Structure formats: structure tokens, C-alpha cells
């Protein structure tokens, strides 16, 4: 496995003891010291330092790796993970070593430890089971919601947009597929319009997203009316449903994060819809009576 140069970039592949490639590094020369990482004291309390990380040639490296990913997929490659790169700065002499304030930077996304998970009350679990016969008609729609929520957690935002749209379409489109007709059906659905208004009234606190994404959702969508947001959602479906390499601003399947705000918006709306649809059964009188008969009556204190 020898380094492979492409212009100023140098690709190098790293294997494990079995000879299986586990990582690829791309070396980029950075002669401009203004592009080196810097560390400054942060004036606000609670934060010690501000680390400014710059990625020279980031767009080029990412584009080259996506192209390589496509080429190698012909021979069995599954994925080159660019979401959490390990970035290192390698000085060429002692002066550069002294000038560099940061030599390595990485970030990763870890699953919550089992001891950090929030407790889940038994009565919600039992009530959900007891309400299955009455909620069964929403099974397909709820499957789309679950898939969309999982896609958000996995940073597959374009896929989540599709899943949440299918959730809305299943419940409210009345079999229509053309954009104009779907918009009309969505706008005459009180539950959908009410769920959008409920999200807008929350000021963003109910958007299930990271702070930067939540801020983007608020800035881009919260000044709109529920009807305007319906138009945006349906138009987005139409935009993502087609692709042409010569189309200006065309979406890229590997640039998922660009659609994180849209995914968060749709998730917040879909959550309000799903909760409203199911809560009347999960917390309804019939379920409450069954829960009481099974688990409350006859117990002694």
C-alpha cells in the first residue's frame, strides 16, 4: 500500500493485521499559516478556550473521496465515512512545530450509555400494548415516522425527508400525487395545519434537533404561515424526487447535512400529528379502564 499522489493531494490507505483497508488519509499541504488552527481565550464564563479549526481544500478532498467511493463501489466498497474525520497537522520543521497550537482534532458520535438512558414508565409501555387494536389503522404511517426519526439520528436527512413526507401523504393526501393537489389536501387537513401551528407556537423548543439545526429551522421557517410551510414541504418533495447533473443547485446524495433543517422541521410536525392521533387511544378511557382492571384494582398498599 504505497501513497498515491493526485496533484497536491496524497492518498494513503491503512490496513489492519489481516490486510483489510480500514482507513484512508489525504495529505494536504498548508503553506499559508493563516489557515492553521488557532486557540484563543473565550470571554464568556463556562468556556475556557475557543478552538478555531480550518479545513484547507475541504471541498476538494470531500469531492475526491466521494468520487473514489463511487469508483471503488464497483469492486465492493460500502462506504468511506467522512462524517467524523481525524484531522492531524504535521509540522515539517521545529519552527512550524512551535507555531502549531493544535496537532490533532477529531470528533465522534457515540451512542448513549445504558446507565444514561431516561427511565421509561411501565404504564406508557402497557398502555401502548393495550391500545394496539385501536391504533392498528395507523401502523403504516407510524412506520414511516419511526423510519424518519431513525434516519435523523443516523444523519440520513434526505431519507428522513422522504419518510416524513410519506407519513404526511399516507394520512392527508387522499391518494393525490400531483403537487398542486397534494397541497390542497394538506391545507384542508385541520390536524396537519394545527400541528404546524403548534410547532410554530413553541418558538423552536419542540424541534427535535441539535441547537444549530434548531436555530436554522427557526430562522428559515418560523416566520411563515402553516400554509406556506405546506408549500415548502411539497415543493421539497418535488425537488428531491428528480435529479439532473446540469441542474443549478442540484442536491447531492452524500451531502445529507444540507437538509438537516428541513428534516427537523418535518420531524417536529410529524411528531405533533402522530402524538395527537395516538394519544386519544393510548390515554383514552377504554385503555385506562383496561389498565386499571389489570394493574390497579385489587392491589393493596
Verify that 14 and 144 share a domain, yes or no: no
Verify that 138 and 238 share a domain, yes or no: yes
Q: Does a structural domain hold residue 170?
A: yes
Verify that 48 and 149 share a domain, yes or no: no
Verify that 244 and 166 share a domain, yes or no: yes
Verify that 78 and 168 share a domain, yes or no: no
0.85 cut: is pTM over it? no
- Please state at what angle helix 157-172 crosses helix 139-153, rounded to 10 degrees: 160
Q: Does a structural domain hold residue 288?
A: no
Verify that 93 and 150 share a domain, yes or no: no
Q: Does a structural domain hold residue 121?
A: no
Domain of residue 83: give its range. Answer: 4-106
Verify that 150 and 38 share a domain, yes or no: no
196-228 exposure pattern, b = at least 16 Cβ within 10 A, e = fewer: bebbbeeebeebebeeebbebbbeebbeeebee
Verify that 64 and 156 share a domain, yes or no: no
Quote the distance between the C-alpha of residue 130 and its chain's center.
32
Domain boundary (71, 106, 141) is at: 106
Three-state secondary structure call for residue 196: helix
Q: Does a structural domain hold residue 114?
A: no
143 and 135 in contact (C-beta within 8 Å)?
no
- pLDDT of 221-274, one tens digit each? 999 999 999 999 999 998 888 777 777 778 777 788 889 999 999 999 999 999
Domain boundary (106, 124, 155) is at: 106
Verify that 145 and 70 share a domain, yes or no: no
192 and 273 in contact (C-beta within 8 Å)?
yes
pLDDT of 301 reads 43
Of 105, 88, 92, the closest CA to residue 52 belongs to 105
Structural domain count of the chain: 2
pLDDT of 105 reads 72
Integer CA distances (angstroms), 81 to 18, 69, 145, 208, 254, in order:
21, 10, 26, 24, 10
Verify that 137 and 258 share a domain, yes or no: yes
Point out the residues of the chain with pLDDT beneath 50.
300-301
Verify that 167 and 79 share a domain, yes or no: no
- Return the HEC string of 15-59: ECCCCCEEEEEEECCCCCHHHCCEEEECCCCCCCEEEECCCCCHH
Q: Does a structural domain hold residue 93?
A: yes
Q: Does a structural domain hold residue 241?
A: yes
Q: Does a structural domain hold residue 54?
A: yes
Q: Does a structural domain hold residue 271?
A: yes
Verify that 65 and 195 share a domain, yes or no: no
Give φ, ψ of 6 to 5 degrees: -135, 100
pLDDT of 254 reads 76
Amino acid at each position: 500500500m504505497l501513497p498515491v499522489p493526485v496533484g497536491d493531494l496524497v492518498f494513503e490507505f491503512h490496513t489492519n493485521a489481516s490486510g483489510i483497508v480500514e482507513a484512508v488519509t489525504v495529505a494536504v499541504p498548508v503553506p499559508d499559516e493563516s489557515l492553521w488552527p488557532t486557540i484563543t481565550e473565550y470571554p464568556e464564563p463556562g468556556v475556557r478556550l475557543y478552538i478555531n479549526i480550518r479545513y484547507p481544500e475541504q471541498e476538494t478532498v470531500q469531492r475526491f473521496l466521494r468520487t473514489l467511493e463511487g469508483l471503488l463501489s464497483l469492486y465492493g466498497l460500502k462506504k468511506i465515512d467522512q462524517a467524523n474525520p481525524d484531522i492531524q497537522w504535521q509540522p515539517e520543521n521545529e519552527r512550524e512545530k512551535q507555531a502549531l497550537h493544535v496537532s490533532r482534532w477529531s470528533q465522534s458520535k457515540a451512542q448513549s450509555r445504558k446507565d444514561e438512558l431516561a427511565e421509561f414508565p411501565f404504564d406508557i409501555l402497557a398502555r401502548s400494548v393495550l391500545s394496539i387494536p385501536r391504533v392498528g389503522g395507523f401502523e403504516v404511517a407510524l412506520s414511516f415516522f419511526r423510519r424518519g426519526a431513525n434516519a435523523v439520528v443516523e444523519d440520513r436527512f434526505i431519507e428522513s425527508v422522504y419518510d416524513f413526507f410519506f407519513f404526511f401523504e399516507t394520512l392527508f393526501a387522499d391518494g393525490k400525487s400531483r403537487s398542486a393537489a397534494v397541497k390542497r389536501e394538506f391545507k384542508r387537513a385541520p390536524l396537519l395545519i394545527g400541528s404546524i401551528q403548534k410547532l410554530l407556537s413553541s418558538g423552536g423548543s419542540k424541534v427535535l434537533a441539535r441547537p444549530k439545526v434548531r436555530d436554522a429551522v427557526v430562522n428559515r421557517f418560523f416566520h411563515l404561515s402553516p400554509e406556506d410551510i405546506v408549500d415548502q414541504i411539497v415543493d421539497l418533495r418535488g425537488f428531491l424526487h428528480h435529479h439532473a447533473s446540469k441542474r443549478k443547485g442540484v442536491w447531492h446524495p452524500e451531502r445529507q447535512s444540507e437538509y438537516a433543517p428541513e428534516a427537523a422541521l418535518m420531524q417536529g410536525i410529524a411528531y405533533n400529528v402522530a402524538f395527537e392521533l395516538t394519544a386519544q387511544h393510548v390515554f383514552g378511557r377504554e385503555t385506562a379502564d383496561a389498565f386499571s382492571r389489570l394493574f390497579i384494582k385489587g392491589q393493596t398498599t
